[in-house]
Each structure stands twice: as C-alpha cells, then as structure tokens.
Amino acid sequence: MSSSQVSWLSDVISAQQLSELTTFREIRVTKIPPGSICLLCKGGRMLCGKVSCPIIVKAQSLTKSNLRITSPHIQGSTPPGVFVGRIGYPKVFIGPMVPPFLGNTEILDTPELWIGKEIQEIIDYRFSLIRGKAATSIYDARSGTRLLDSLQELALGKTPVVAEVVLSKIPRGVLTLDSDIQPFGPSAPLRSFSASDVSVDRRLEAAFYDRDLKANEAVVELYDRGVYVTRIQRAFSLGMFGLGKNRKLVPTRWSITAVDSIVSQELINRIKLNDTIDEYRVYSFSYLDNRYVAILMPEKWSFEWIEAWFPGTAWNPNSGAAEPAMMGDFESYWGRNTYPDVGGCYYSCRLAVAENLCRENRQASALVLREIHPGYILPVGVWNVRESIRQMLKGEPQKFDNLPAALNCAMTRLTIPLKNWIEVSRLLRQFLYQKKITEFV
C-alpha cells in the first residue's frame, strides 16, 4: 500500500505510526465513496460529532498489533479463541484466533472480564487476535473434519493454549473507513493449525459427547453449572451441542444471540413461578459514554428495552440531527414470537435482568433505558449491554412506592425528557394510562 492511499492519516497520527502502516505489513485501507464525511473530515475536524475519531483509534491499535507480525507462521497463546463467519452461508469460514505472543491471554476473548476497560483497551484486545480462515460447510459438524475437530477440542479449553498457525501469507489488517463496523484483527487463509494439550472443561466436554442431549438443554445445563456465557456461545457456534444428526455450525454473531435468548427464556420461565417484588426500583449505571437506567415494577413479568442513539453515534451518524434516534422492543407476560428490531442487545439485556430476578426468587416488569452518547465512538459488541446491565443490577437500587416517583428519579440519571420515553415505551403508556379492572371493584 502506498503512503498516498492514507496520506490524510499523517494529520492525526505520528510519522512513525504512519510509516508502520505503510511498510510490508500489508495493512489495507478499504475504499469509501467520494464525498464521504471521513474524507472531508480526515480525522481532525470531528464532523461526525464524536469526541474522537474511531478510524484513527483503529489505526493506532492495528499498528500496535501488526508490529509483532513479520511472518505467516504465528505462535502464541490462544485465549482460547475461535471464529465462525457468516459470509457465504451455508458455506462459511472457520478458524482459530491466536495472538502473536505467549502468556495468559484469557482476557483477549472473554468479555466477562472487560467491564471497566477503556474502549482503546477493548479495541486492542480484538486487533491482537490473528484469524486463520478455512472454508467449510455448516453440516461438517455432524461428521467432523480435521480442522473442525481441532477447533472443537480448543473450545473445550478452560485456560489459554499454546498454538501454532501457518497462514498462506503474512496476515493483512484491514483499516475499514466505517466507524459502524466492529474491529477485528488481521486475517489470512489458513494452511495448518496445531495446539498443545488442552486443559479441558469437563462440563463442556460432557455436553459435547452427549449426542442425545438437545442443544437448548445443553446450553441451559452449562449455564446452571456456572460456565461463562461467552464459552457456551463459542462451543455453540462450532456445532458442539444437540442431537448428533442435527448438529451444524452457527456463525459467531448468531450464536451469541441464540445463547442469550435460550438462557434468558429459561430464566423467565422460572421467575414466573415467583411472587412479584414489593416496590418500584430504580437502578443506574454509566460505561463507555452509555447511560443505563432500569425501572423494575411490582407487576407480573414483562420486559422492554429502549435505545436512544445521540447525533454523532454509530446508528445516528448525522451530527446535525436535532434529536436522538430512539427505538425499542417489548414483550408481555406471554413473550414474543418475532425478532426484535433493536437486535441482539434485546436478548443480552433480557438475560441480565432475568438472572438477577431469578437469583432473588422474584418477578417484576422491567423497563431498561439506554442513552448512547458520542463518546461511544464505535460499537464493541452486545456483550457491552449484557455486562453493563449485570453490573448495574449488582448495585443497591433506590426504592419507591409509586411509578411517578420512580420515573422522577430515573430521569435525573438521563438527559432525554420523560415525554420522549413515554412516546416510545409501551410499558410506560400501559402503566401510566391504562386502568386495571381491580380499580373498579
């Protein structure tokens, strides 16, 4: 790549970093349409409204990771990490994720350990993992292949594993000029993969070898036995659960939402057997310029998740917009049978709320609100919602004996007026304006 392709980066990163980007590391800058706001801004004028340029943040992180990559032969300690792509489904790319260094690398692919980390650290974790890619069919999970068998064994691990990856060329990092895309490390076609002895998690191993155990039952059983949700999702994506004749690979992105949905639905079924809480509760939490508020109400189970993306954020990129972009999804006591418009965050939040109520042996109606401010310069994954809501619900709530008082408290934690939330929220309109039949008795 010639320096002229990324000459505008010289305005915002050091000469040394620019040189590193344009050496033989083969970092590629993707093309963007003429007139893009990125070309107009060049990372220095913040036309998108963000507090820092997400492309520059990616470039700096990519530079750090690529300094260690000088050969297609990579040796390092995998967290363990694996990846199943979705492009070309049902033919997909699979492979290991290995950093070019040894040591305790568990944190690199374990979002349960990321809460409290700065966004630059999280991006560094993602960029440090090099992906080897090999094409396979999702149905290979039924009979196995040499590579898939190795990856499944790796996914059974409970500690980092020393691994060797031979790629067809020096892995290429891609500097995507699109702040909406999550960061991923360098990748290249995979020639061979080997790993040292894996310290197997016996809980995962039992579910893997039980080919008469249904996938959803395996997921719930592992969750109940204390296995990290992330590790369940990893094994799920590699087709390691379910009836033997039905097993198949699941793209990583899909497996995350599937596991969050399965576990949260099981927990909801359990909490419906419990009494409701006795008061209105308000929880709040802030992380990565996201503000969260949860209002738990002394009613039978129902759930609503509402997001408000401020101008200059990923899903509301027009920094000149007058209002935040708001959207949400809802389920009554009887659940829902369509995929929520807000995507996987709905299920990751539902999981965190349901597990907290289940732990308390109570049920409630839950309204969870999220404001995303420009300091959240690029999406980092739905884990952010799950772990933030978990952290929030560990705190001591403020308690009230009526909904208006709870709402007044909640609004002191947020910047959007109550009337705007009411316009979007089915739960608020229901509980504020709809009378119950018991009021007439």
Q: What is the pLDDT of residues 92-105, one digit of tens each?
A: 999 999 999 999 99
Residues 317 and 415 in one domain: yes
Pair of tokens at residue 323: 């209002």
Q: What is the SS3 assignment for 338?
A: coil
Chain segment 298-349, per-residue pLDDT in tens: 999 999 999 999 987 877 777 666 789 999 999 999 999 999 999 999 999 9
Residues 154 and 223 in one domain: no
DSSP letter at 352? H
CA-CA distance, 235 to 383, in Å (whole number)?
Answer: 17
Pair of tokens at residue 193: 């993969």
Chain segment 395-409, per-residue pLDDT in tens: 999 999 999 999 999
Residues 331 and 374 in one domain: yes
With beta carbons less than 8 A apart as the criterion, state whether 59 and 141 touch. no
Residues 84 and 134 in one domain: yes
- Structural domain range at position 174: 3-195
pLDDT of residue 233: 97
DSSP letter at 10? G
pLDDT of residue 181: 46
Structure confidence at residue 216 as a pLDDT band (50, 70, 90): very high
Residues 16 and 54 in one domain: yes
- Where is the domain boundary, 153, 178, 195? 195
Residue 5 has pLDDT above 70, yes or no: no
| 54, part of any domain | yes
With beta carbons less than 8 A apart as the criterion, state whether 378 and 363 touch. no
E strand segments, 271-382: 280-287, 290-297, 302-309, 325-331, 365-372
pLDDT of residue 342: 92
Residues 212 and 350 in one domain: no
Over residues 13-18, the mean pLDDT reads 54
| 67, part of any domain | yes
Residue 384 has pLDDT above 60, yes or no: yes
| 258, part of any domain | no
Residues 246 and 158 in one domain: no
Q: In what order do the strands lie in the sheet with 73-78?
A: 73-78, 161-167, 187-195, 130-137, 91-98, 82-84
Chain segment 222-279, per-residue pLDDT in tens: 999 999 999 999 999 999 999 999 999 999 999 999 999 999 999 999 999 999 999 9
With beta carbons less than 8 A apart as the criterion, state whether 353 and 368 touch. yes
| 268, part of any domain | no
CA-CA distance, 422 to 234, in Å (whole number)?
Answer: 38
| 273, part of any domain | no
Q: Specify the pTM.
A: 0.86
| 77, part of any domain | yes
Give residue 413's identity as a one-letter amino acid code: R
Over residues 41-69, the mean pLDDT reads 58
Residues 59 and 78 in one domain: yes
Cβ neighbours for 181, distance < 8 A, ≥ 6 positions apart:
378
- Listing DSSP states for 17-48 in one string gives HHHHHTSTT--EEPP--TT-HHHHHTTTS-TT
Residues 319 and 395 in one domain: yes
Residues 185 and 229 in one domain: no
Residues 391 and 323 in one domain: yes
- Compute the mean pLDDT over every residue in the chain, rounded to the nearest whole number: 86
Beta-bridged to residue 3, according to DSSP, are: none
Residues 57 and 189 in one domain: yes
Residue 8 has pLDDT above 50, yes or no: no
With beta carbons less than 8 A apart as the criterion, state whether 365 and 297 touch. yes
pLDDT of residue 64: 59
pLDDT of residue 436: 60
Where do the H-state alpha helices sit in 67-172? 119-127, 146-155
| 257, part of any domain | no
pLDDT of residue 441: 46
| 269, part of any domain | no
Residue 31 has pLDDT above 60, yes or no: no
Q: What is the CA radius of gyration of the chain?
A: 23
- Listing DSSP states for 348-367 in one string gives HHHHHHHHHHHHHT-B-EEE
Q: How many domains does the chain have?
A: 3
CA-CA distance, 437 to 441, in Å (whole number)?
Answer: 7
Pair type for strands 302-309 and 365-372: parallel
